[in-house]
């Protein structure tokens, strides 16, 4: 019996010791207050809780705002036919002034080039004239002055470009929108005899005649 009482007293003393670590009473009837040990433990737990919360907050992945897409306007296309002076960083190259013969060729060349493109499939190579002397060296008559029977026997002939120069290598002639040279045979058996200052001298079936240059 005494051993049971001793055990109960020992247990009561242990419980009182635990209560004394947490609460202390100034008097038996006063409300219990926390001891300094209990306050220190609670403060430590509070600091640990805040530190763990701050660590978890710093480890959280930041939420980035969605990217803002700014529309980019396409540059305005350059106008067709704009010269280098209208475009930045353009190099201006001086163009020499053409002489009178080249100017005449430039004025008539676009139409000849267009006709050459349209008739590219039928472009022919001029054939060299036979190595026999051409009859007559005097002034050839104009085609308009020859008989109608002779004019009707000729194929269609039209002088499109005519550039005369004392230097024969600089002379330019287009007949029926095709380039021809002196002493060559063209379609229909017509021979180009010479490019003169006011037209071209041709020969057909032994008859020499002259076509005027384009006005």
DSSP letter at 62? P
C-alpha span between 182 and 162 (Å, rounded): 12
Paired sense of beta strands 172-175 and 199-204, if any: unpaired
Mean pLDDT lowest among 69-78, 83-92, 181-190: 83-92
pLDDT band at 77 (very low <50, low <70, confident <90, very high): low
pLDDT band at 189 (very low <50, low <70, confident <90, very high): very high
CA-nearest of 106, 86, 87 to 95 is: 106
pLDDT at 74 over 80: no
Domain residue extents for the chain: 2-59, 101-120+137-212
Q: Are 110 and 118 in contact (CB under 8 A)?
A: no
pLDDT band at 49 (very low <50, low <70, confident <90, very high): very high
pLDDT at 120 over 80: no
Mean pLDDT for 165-172 is 94
Q: Which percentage of the chain shows pLDDT scores above 90?
A: 38
pLDDT at 125 over 70: no
Mean pLDDT for 40-58 is 89
Please give the pLDDT value at position 193.
Answer: 95
pLDDT at 83 over 50: no
Q: Which percentage of the chain shows pLDDT scores above 70?
A: 53
Mean pLDDT for 190-198 is 95
Q: Are 192 and 178 in contact (CB under 8 A)?
A: no
pLDDT band at 131 (very low <50, low <70, confident <90, very high): very low
pLDDT band at 13 (very low <50, low <70, confident <90, very high): confident
Region class of 120: left (phi > 0), else alpha (psi between -120 and 50), else beta: alpha
C-alpha span between 190 and 200 (Å, rounded): 12
Q: Which residue has the higher pLDDT, 8 or 208?
A: 208
pLDDT at 168 over 70: yes
Please give the pLDDT value at position 149.
Answer: 95
């Amino acid at each position: 019996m005494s051993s049971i009482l001793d055990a109960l007293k020992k247990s009561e003393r242990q419980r009182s010791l635990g209560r004394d670590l947490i609460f202390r009473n100034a008097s038996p009837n006063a409300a219990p207050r926390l001891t300094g040990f209990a306050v220190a433990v609670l403060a430590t737990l509070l600091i640990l809780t805040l530190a763990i919360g701050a660590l978890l907050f710093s480890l959280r992945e930041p939420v980035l705002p969605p990217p803002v897409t700014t529309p980019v306007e396409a540059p305005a296309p350059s106008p067709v036919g704009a010269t280098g002076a209208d475009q930045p960083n353009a190099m201006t190259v001086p163009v020499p002034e053409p002489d009178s013969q080249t100017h005449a060729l430039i004025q008539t060349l676009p139409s000849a080039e267009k006709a050459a493109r349209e008739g590219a499939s039928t472009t022919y190579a001029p054939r060299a004239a036979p190595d026999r002397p051409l009859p007559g060296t005097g002034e050839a008559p104009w085609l308009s002055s020859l008989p109608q029977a002779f004019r009707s026997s000729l194929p269609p002939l039209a002088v499109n470009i005519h550039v005369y120069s004392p230097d024969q290598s600089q002379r330019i002639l287009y007949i029926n929108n095709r380039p021809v040279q002196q002493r060559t045979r063209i379609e229909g058996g017509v021979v180009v005899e010479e490019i003169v200052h006011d037209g071209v001298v041709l020969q057909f079936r032994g008859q020499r005649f002259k076509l005027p240059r384009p006005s």
